[in-house]
Amino acid sequence: MKRFKGLAIPYFVWLVLLVVVPLLAMFALTFMQTNGTNLATAVFSLDAYKRMLDPSIYKALWNSLYVAVLTVVICILLGYPVAYFISFSKIKNKSLFLLLLILPMWSNSMLRIVSWLRLFSTDALAALNLVGTDAAVIFVTVTTYLPFMIFPIYTVLEKMDRGLIEASKDLGVPAWKTFLKITFPLSLSGVSSGTLMVFLPAATGFAISQTIGQGKVRLIGNLIQTVFEKNNYNFGSLLSIFVTVMILAVVGASSLFTGRRKH
Amino acid sequence: MARKILELKGVRKVYGDNVILDDFNLSINENEFVTFLGPSGCGKTTTLRIIGGFETMDAGSLLLDGVEISGLPAHKRPINTVFQKYALFPHLNVYDNIAFGLRNNIYSNVYDIGVMNLMEKNGFDEEEIDSLMKKLTMIDKPKDVKEYVINHFKELSSYYQFETKALSLIKEKKAKLWGDIKEEMNAPINLVETLPVKKAINKVLDTLKDDVYYKMISEINKRSFKEDVIKEEVTEALKLVNLSGYEDRDVSQMSGGQMQRIAIARAIVNKPRILLLDEPLSALDLKLRKAMRLELREMQKKLGITFIFVTHDQEEAMVMSDTIVVMNEGEIAQIGRPEDIYNTPVNRFVSTFIGEANIFRGVYPEARRLNMLGKTFKVSAHDFMPNDPIYIILEKEDFDICSLDIAKIKGIVKACRFKEGSYEVDVDIEGKSLKIISEDKLTIGEEIGLTVAPNNIYCEDISEKKAKILANFDDANILEGTYLGNQWVSFLGNHFRTYITTFIPGEVVDVVIRPEDWDLMLEDDMKKAILVGTVEKTVFTGVTFQIWVNVNGNTLLVQDYMNVEVGDTIGLSVDFYEIHLMKVADEEQPLEIQEIRRKAKEAALKEFEEEDETL
């Protein structure tokens, strides 16, 4: 393995230049007042931190959490049965069914979001006044990220030893209880990685809420976008770091959960 | 007559165009260690899976205790399986793996077991325990065992009888005072008539609380009852498989042999009628496999559960089984005891297939020596008598190839095949073919030398061991007898032929005969009977009759499907291979036998000492 160590250098350089340095720069920016990225006029200031007290931030944060958590729950409820039935069915072309699931993902996501907006605005659906509601935002988020939930669950179920289910039945346990006691607990690692893969983009994205929410549903992503648009890089940086820390906390909690499961 | 537990009649199984089993008929006796032996693809695993409920059959019937069970799904059959790859639950620890069945099974089996233990602890007599247990172990047992048992005890409990009667009287008569119902209640203590009726009844009930049924009900109703029983049972199962103290371990941290034991414990803790074992030893290394064979066999006798064992390994089948079912291409080639199958194979397939095993007949000429293949070997076994004939079972892996000048056996290489990382070699030793495993490729026609380490020669006398095990359970008849030599033994004033050869003529032995092995003979058949006796007592056990017969002042226990009247004169006979003999302590032997034994033991000990010196 030693011989190939050198191959990791490009990525390492990339990591330092494009991830570590910018993060440090962002951190530094939070303590200044600058005009955009122009450091010539920079002065030390805790203005950004003072603005963190603004209740609109917590409102946006709450909205993000609300949308993301609901999206994850709905994705699990919709995605688990799909993954389960594809994995346990006796059909030969399981990959074909999976392909059908990914197929929409091959088109541009912005295009799909806008399509939903158009659909909601058609005569037939306009009466429901979906545009600008939480429900519509969550609905589109779910349709966008559902495959990310199905795939990890499917993979885990597919790898599961079918002998375990036979063993459970052999011990006198009926099918539904076998699912609760064996199949489901063993697929939790898939559910948790699916949760991460759906939760993160759903909590931090801004395209869906902006397009479908029409400015009425403000998530933390929208807030950051607006702040940067107003050239306030200091407050924008602080918000971004704040969100990053939150994401790390979620990932940490989730790995702790799966880690305990697997021992 | 041994009792049938499982019957397969006309079973047919087809996969696509492939007929796996066709008109397959087999019956299996209770408490037996049955082995399905055959090459891969012979249908042995399919048969096992049909019995377990994991495969459906296309035609035929499957009877457990005479009841058709082919329609029952796997989880409703009182049959458990030890899977080839163990199939332990990776997310549960050792304890929870074993407790899994008891905790979650559909019939809440744990209550049967718990109630039985509790009844034993509270000094119930056997008949009462059995009559309740019989209702709970049937295939159509009550769905909620707990409720059933509690209602059963409530009917018997004076506490609950009093309570029910009092409550109905109060309702009926709208009684307010004890005096209103006193006459009818017949209370065991005297109470003032003007007491409020509820208070009075509670006072009476307090005195009835030492009723054993009331105690049972309150024990069973305890919240921790189920988990307590599970804990007890799991602990016991772990003890049985020698893994006490491993409760909290993660199953992934266990070795192959330990996982195997957990899989066995997980199955037997449910107290199945039949335990199925699907090539459970194939994943273990040779040394462990050998140890597990004997352990499994002893476990089976201890538990008294029917074991159905599937293997393609002839040696394994020969060492472990009571009965071997040799299978080939979906059909039974031969059924019989290991010795019968080895000695009298019915067709070419059986003889070649069994012949692949390295089984030899040999003689034990003197202490710790063994004659086989025309040579004398050193062995570790020392509990035989000089000139005892014995079977020797050797593993392919037991042979070591060595240079010709120090070789015990010399042979010619007949064939050499690459198999699983090493070579399987056929060696011809003066006409007897032998299979060995070699690390290196050998050329055909080459002469090679072979040795076997003394510890690798398995020459335990299977028949003696069997008698010992049989004597320990099952109300076996144990009779005093004398070995006459030449496979004859005398007991109850008659001479009988036996299959056992390993005793000294004149030696006192214990004769062990299982109740179900006696053949009952009435009327005309009686002339053919060897023993004649009078019936003293009969009991119907639900399926068979237990009959106590007095023969020349000795009482024998006989089990049969036929019933007879007390006082009848009946004839008894027994097949020669159902007469098992067991050694008796030296002190009870005639002096000359004691002398022979003492000399043999001295010779063996001397041999040990000499060996120690050379080491």
Q: Does the complex come out with an ipTM higher than 0.95? A: no
Q: Which residues of B touch A162 (CB under 8 A)?
A: none
Distances (CA, A) of A208 to A115, B82, B154: 11, 54, 66
Q: Which of residues 73 through 92 in chain A touch B, CB cutoff 8 A? A: none
CA distance A16 to A19: 6
Residue B211 has pLDDT above 90, yes or no: no
Q: Which residues of A touch B83 (CB under 8 A)?
A: 163, 166-167, 170
Cβ within 8 Å, pair A263-B89: no
Percent share of chain A, pLDDT over 70: 97
Asked if residue A26 is part of any domain, the answer here is: no
Asked if residue A215 is part of any domain, the answer here is: yes
Q: Residue A263: what pLDDT? A: 41
Q: Residue B82: what pLDDT? A: 93
- Kindly indicate whether the domain formed by B466-584 is annotated with CATH number 3.40.390.30: no
A32 - beta bridge partners? Answer: A44
Of A25-34, B70-79, B117-126, which gets the smallest average pLDDT?
A: B117-126
Asked if residue A128 is part of any domain, the answer here is: yes
CA distance B450 to B182: 94
Taking residues A145-153, what's their average pLDDT? Answer: 93
Structure tokens at B272: 């199945």
Mean pLDDT of chain A: 88
CATH topology (fold) of B358-456: OB fold (Dihydrolipoamide Acetyltransferase, E2P) (2.40.50)
Compute the C-alpha angle B182/B184/B190, nearest 5°: 35
CA distance A243 to A224: 10
Which of A156, A162, A171 has the most B C-beta neighbours within 10 Å, making it the best mutation to test the interface with B? A171
- B85 interface with A at CB cutoff 8 Å: yes
- B250 interface with A at CB cutoff 8 Å: yes
Residue B463 has pLDDT above 60, yes or no: no
Q: Which of residues 171 through 200 in chain A touch B, CB cutoff 8 A? A: 171-175, 177, 181-182, 185-186
pLDDT band of residue A37 (cuts 50, 70, 90) is confident
Cβ within 8 Å, pair A163-B85: yes
Question: In terms of pLDDT, which residue wins out, B39 or B375?
Answer: B39
Indicate the SS3 state at residue B126: helix
Residue B615 has pLDDT above 60, yes or no: no
Q: Residue B145: what pLDDT? A: 81
CA distance B503 to B485: 7
Residue B135 has pLDDT above 60, yes or no: yes
Indicate the SS3 state at residue B310: strand
CA distance B359 to B396: 11
Percent share of chain B, pLDDT over 70: 90
Residue B349, Cα to own-chain centre: how many angstroms? Answer: 29
Question: In terms of pLDDT, which residue wins out, A39 or B474?
Answer: A39
Residue B410 has pLDDT above 60, yes or no: yes
Taking residues A98-124, what's their average pLDDT? Answer: 87
Cβ within 8 Å, pair A161-B85: yes
Tell the residue number behind the tokens 């891969």, with chain if given: B40
CA distance B197 to B177: 4
**Helix, strand, coil shares of chain B as percentages rounded to 5?**
40, 30, 30
Taking residues B52-73, what's their average pLDDT? Answer: 90
CB contacts < 8 A, A to B, total: 75
Cβ within 8 Å, pair B104-A167: no
Q: Check if the beta carbon of residue B471 is closer than 8 Å to that of residue B512.
A: yes
Q: Residue A262: what pLDDT? A: 47
| Burial classification of residue A78, based on how many CB atoms lie within 10 Å of its CB (0-12 exposed, 13-18 middle, 19 or more buried) | middle
What is the value of pTM for the model shown? 0.71
Q: How many domains does chain A have?
A: 1
Q: Is residue B538 within a helix (H) or strand (E), and if so which, with residue range?
A: strand B531-540
The yes-or-no answer to whether B1-78+297-356 and B466-584 have a common fold is no
A252-259 LR contacts (CB < 8 Å, sep 24+): A254/A192, A254/A195, A254/A196, A257/A192, A258/A188, A258/A189, A258/A192, A258/A193
> Residue type at B469?
I
| Burial classification of residue B292, based on how many CB atoms lie within 10 Å of its CB (0-12 exposed, 13-18 middle, 19 or more buried) | buried
Which of A170, A184, A192 has the most B C-beta neighbours within 10 Å, making it the best mutation to test the interface with B? A170
- A156 interface with B at CB cutoff 8 Å: no
- B145 interface with A at CB cutoff 8 Å: no
Q: Residue B495: what pLDDT? A: 85
- In terms of DSSP bridges, do strands B331-336 and B518-521 run parallel, antiparallel, or are they unpaired? unpaired
Q: Check if the beta carbon of residue A116 is closer than 8 Å to that of residue A143.
A: yes
CATH code of the domain covering residue A203: 1.10.3720.10
CA distance B158 to B188: 11
Asked if residue A12 is part of any domain, the answer here is: no
pLDDT in tens, B505-543: 888 888 888 887 888 888 777 777 788 888 888 887 766
Question: In terms of pLDDT, which residue wins out, A138 or B148?
Answer: A138
The half-sphere exposure of B284 on its side-chain side, counting CA atoms within 13 A, is 21
Question: In terms of pLDDT, which residue wins out, B461 or B66?
Answer: B66
Cβ within 8 Å, pair A167-B89: yes
Percent share of chain B, pLDDT over 90: 14
Residue B331 has pLDDT above 80, yes or no: yes
Indicate the SS3 state at residue B292: helix
> Of B54, B76, B104, which is closest to A166 when you measure between CB atoms?
B54
Pick the CATH number of B1-78+297-356 from 3.90.850.10, 3.40.50.300, 3.20.20.140, 3.90.228.20: 3.40.50.300
pLDDT in tens, A211-251: 898 888 888 999 999 999 888 889 999 999 998 898 888 78
Q: Which residues of B touch A173 (CB under 8 A)?
A: 75, 100-101, 104-106
The DSSP code for A17 is I
Asked if residue A143 is part of any domain, the answer here is: yes
pLDDT in tens, B283-321: 788 778 878 888 888 888 888 899 999 998 888 888 888
- In terms of DSSP bridges, do strands B447-452 and B409-419 run parallel, antiparallel, or are they unpaired? antiparallel
Cβ within 8 Å, pair B83-A163: yes
The full set of domain ranges for chain B reads: 1-78+297-356, 358-456, 466-584
- In terms of DSSP bridges, do strands B306-311 and B274-278 run parallel, antiparallel, or are they unpaired? parallel
Tell the residue number behind the tokens 């912005």, with chain if given: A110
Q: Which domain holds residue A117?
A: 61-262
Asked if residue A18 is part of any domain, the answer here is: no
Q: Which residues of A touch B76 (CB under 8 A)?
A: 172
Alpha-helical segments (H) within A133-214: 134-159, 162-170, 175-178, 184-204, 207-213
CA distance B4 to B558: 16
Residue B579, Cα to own-chain centre: how many angstroms? Answer: 19
Question: In terms of pLDDT, which residue wins out, A139 or B425?
Answer: A139
Asked if residue A17 is part of any domain, the answer here is: no
Helix (H) and strand (E) counts in chain B: 17, 29
Q: Which residues contact B68 (CB under 8 A, 6 or more apart)?
A: B61, B62
- B54 interface with A at CB cutoff 8 Å: yes
Question: In terms of pLDDT, which residue wins out, B470 or B148?
Answer: B148
